[in-house]
Structures are given as C-alpha cells and as structure tokens.
C-alpha cells in the first residue's frame, strides 16, 4: 500500500470512529494543535519499508504440541466435552499450512476423554493426538493420590498420549476445590500422578504462572495494560495469589523430585526471562519448553532468542495454543494466518512485523523480528523433538 493510501485509510478510520474524533483530527491538522485520541482508537501503521516474506507452509512437517480443539469444565466436575471444530475443518487448515499433527491437550477425563479420542484420534491416528487432564474436582477426596495415578493408567490404556496441567494448579485449584487456600504445585498428593506419567512415558505439558506483568498492578506502568484492561480476570495481582517466582520454584521442585518424568513447560516457562529459563534447563535435564503464544516475547528479543534456540535446539517444541473458539484472543485464533506468523518468525530474518493476526498487537504494543533458524534446528523444533517426546516415528 502506498503512503497516500495509508493516510486516506487513516482519515477514513478517524471519520468512522465518530464525529468527535473526526472533528478533533480536522482541527488538529488545521491549527497544529494536539489532537487527543483514546489509546484503544490508536492503530499506527508502520512506515518502515522492510522485507516481507510470505511463508505459506512450514518448511518441514509440523507437530503443533499445544492446541485446544476441545475443552471441558472439569474443575466443576464436568466430563462433558465441547468440540470447537470438526476434524474436517481442522484438516483443511492443517493441510494448507503443513501441520502433520495437532495435539489436543485439553482432551478431558473419563467419559469425556473417551469421546475426544473417539472423535479425533481414532478416525485420524496420523493427524490428531489427545492428552488427558487431572481430575481436579476429586482432588480433595480421600484416596485421591492413588485414584489420580490409576486414572492416568486408564487414560493411557484408552489412548491418551500425555497429560496437560493447566495453570489451574497454582492459581485456581483450592483445598475445597473452589474455596479455601490455593493448592501448591508441589503438593504431595500429585506425586503418584507425576511418577505414573514417567513410568508410562507420557509427557506432562505444564502451564505455570503467566506473563510477569499479570502479577503487577494494572496501571500506566504495566506493559500489558491494554490486554489486562480487556481481560481483568487474567490479573493475578494481589488477593492471595503467589508471586510468579513462588509458582516457578514450586514447579522446579516437582521437576527435581521426578527426574524420570518429562515436563514440557508451556509458553517457554517464563518467556521474559530467558537467562533464568536457561539456568533451569541446565539444572533439570527433564525440562523442555514449548513456544505457544510467546513469539511476541521471543520476537522482541530476537538475538537472545536465536541463541536460546541454538543452545536448547533439542528441547524446544513448536506450539501455538491455537483454539478454533472465538476470535477475542487473536494470538491464539486457529487458522492459516496464525500459523504463517509463527513460520515467518522461525524461518525468516524479516523485521518489525505483527506477532498476531490483529489490528492492534493484543499482548502489548510492539512488533517482532524473525530469528531465521537453519534447517537443522527448524526440523527439530517443528517436529523431531515432539516426535521423540511422544514416541512417534515420522
């Protein structure tokens, strides 16, 4: 688009935004006065003339290790699954973008899990993989530790290939499920579950904590102000919430206690602090990371990220957190545009592009640069590392 077209578009957008902003803008240009503009109305277009590489398909087949095709409300005792798309709808996008497998991590428990496996994995064993989840709603029952370990065995027999531990553990689950003190991540009642997972070679995909800014006040200093303002329930500031570091340390104690269990720490574990994540990975050989919904972080520190990928090339998995449900979280909205941004980040040295298919960067107002990984690392990150962890031959 030429610059003049962009200006016209911008002027049209100002008019469309309403009479007040149109008027302010006209006055502003005529009299060279400041023109107030609400932050949420501001959609600056970059004037940089930089290379733009279109990566329609990944250079190698991809295992998306972190997706939510189905969800349930197990915390409130539900085995009922919600399916957000049909296999046919998913396969169309997978085929056009070179996704070989989607791992549906929130596959549910009990009857729900059986339904997920029957609808996704059974008819398409070479395209979908289903994980199970802990029975959070039973975690206050006497005998839970053994019950939970047994359920992992049952889920494995039913076809589940791994276990997803949502940030429910650490931030939502309480001693009386939804009331009482928060249950700690390293609570001993889960030890038999972690051990059983290791014995059955089922990887744990674990999401702990959240972006560091979610633990700070939602104020003018918060770099995720707009995101938190749009989703205030994502804030873990105050109340009885532990700090990011307390959550991280509890998870590390679990990793240390179960060295034969593979833990894939979702969202790069703590994507704002790669030096610290590196220390953890050096200390815990059973720790891997996955990159979903954090290319916004990785891509704004492209040189540090590239070094991180070089050093831990055997322990980084591709994932997106993609869900076909609702577009209000654009950085996770399943579709061709989402995957193409990830590929551009991993494969090219393009600079200053959007990390999500969205008019306004949804996680913070910055843009990212690609890290141009060589083929040898791309292959590992796209599928080889995940295939190893899942025991797949590809």
What is the rounded distance in angstroms from the CA atom of residue 272 to the CA atom of residue 275? 9
Is 210 a binder of Zn ion (CB under 5 A)? no
Does 270 participate in binding Zn ion (rule CB under 5 A)? no
Q: Which tokens belong to 219?
A: 């104020």
Closest residue to Zn ion, judged by C-beta, is 321
> At closest approach, how far in Å is the CB of 69 from Zn ion?
11
Counts for the chain of helices (H) and strands (E), in that order: 15, 12
E strands in 216-258: none
Least gap, CB of 30 to Zn ion (angstroms): 50
Footprint of Zn ion on 135-194 (CB under 5 A): none
- Who contacts 68 (Cβ-Cβ below 8 Å, separation ≥6)? 84, 104, 105, 106, 321, 322, 323, 325
Of the candidate spans 178-186, 268-276, 314-322, 377-385, the one that interacts with Zn ion by CB under 5 A turns out to be: 314-322
CB of 321 to Zn ion, least distance (A): 4
Residue count at the site for Zn ion (CB under 5 A)? 1
Q: Which stretch binds Zn ion (CB under 5 A): 54-62, 78-86, 213-221, 315-323?
A: 315-323
Nearer to Zn ion, 356 or 377 (CB): 356
Q: Alpha-carbon distance 35 to 26, whole Å?
A: 9
227 binds Zn ion (CB under 5 A): no
Q: Quick one: 115 or 321, whose CB is closer to Zn ion?
A: 321
Least distance CB 348 / Zn ion (angstroms): 26
What would you measure as the largest C-alpha separation in the chain, in angstroms? Answer: 75
Min CB(334)–Zn ion separation in Å? 12
In eight-state DSSP terms, residue 353 is B
CA 382 remoteness from chain centre: 15
Q: Which two three-digit tokens encode residue 253?
A: 């104690």
Return d(Cα 175, Cα 196) in angstroms, integer: 23
The 317-356 contact track toward Zn ion, x by CB under 5 A, reads: ----x-----------------------------------
DSSP lists the bridge partners of residue 163 as: 132, 204
Q: Is 133 in the site for Zn ion (CB under 5 A)?
A: no
Smallest separation, CB 294 to Zn ion (Å) = 11
Rule CB under 5 A: which residues touch Zn ion?
321
């Amino acid at each position: 688009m030429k610059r003049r077209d962009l200006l016209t578009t911008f002027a049209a957008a100002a008019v469309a935004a309403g009479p007040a902003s149109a008027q302010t803008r006209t006055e502003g240009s005529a009299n060279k006065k400041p023109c107030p503009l609400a932050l949420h109305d501001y959609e600056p277009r970059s004037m940089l003339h930089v290379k733009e590489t279109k990566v329609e398909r990944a250079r190698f087949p991809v295992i998306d290790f972190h997706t939510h095709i189905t969800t349930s409300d197990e915390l409130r005792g539900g085995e009922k699954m919600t399916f957000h798309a049909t296999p046919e709808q998913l396969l169309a996008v997978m085929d056009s973008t070179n996704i070989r497998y989607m791992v549906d991590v929130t596959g549910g428990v009990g009857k729900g899990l059986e339904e997920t496996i029957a609808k996704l994995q059974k008819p398409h064993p070479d395209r979908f993989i289903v994980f199970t989840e802990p029975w959070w709603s039973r975690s206050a029952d006497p005998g839970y530790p053994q019950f939970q370990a047994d359920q992992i065995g049952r889920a494995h027999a039913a076809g589940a290939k791994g276990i997803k531990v949502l940030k429910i553990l650490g931030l939502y689950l309480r001693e009386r499920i939804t009331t009482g003190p928060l249950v700690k991540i390293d609570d001993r009642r889960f030890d038999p579950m972690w051990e059983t997972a290791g014995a059955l070679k089922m990887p744990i995909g674990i999401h702990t904590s959240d972006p560091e800014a979610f633990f700070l006040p939602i104020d003018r200093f918060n770099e995720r102000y707009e995101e938190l303002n749009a989703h205030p329930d994502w804030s873990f500031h105050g109340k009885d919430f532990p700090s990011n570091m307390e959550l991280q340390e509890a998870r590390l104690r679990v990793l240390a206690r179960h060295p034969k269990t593979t833990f894939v720490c979702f969202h790069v574990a703590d994507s704002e602090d790669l030096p610290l994540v590196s220390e953890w990975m050096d200390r815990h050989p059973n720790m891997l990371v996955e990159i979903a919904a954090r290319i916004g972080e990785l891509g704004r520190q492209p040189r540090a990220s590239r070094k991180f990928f070089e050093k831990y090339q055997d322990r980084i998995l591709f994932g997106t957190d993609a869900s076909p449900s609702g577009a209000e979280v654009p950085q996770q909205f399943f579709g061709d545009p989402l995957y193409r941004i990830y590929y551009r980040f991993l494969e090219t040295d393009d600079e200053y592009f959007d990390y999500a298919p969205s008019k306004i960067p949804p996680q913070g107002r910055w843009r990212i640069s690609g890290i141009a990984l060589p083929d040898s690392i791309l292959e590992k990150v796209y599928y080889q590392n995940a295939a190893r962890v899942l025991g797949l031959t590809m």
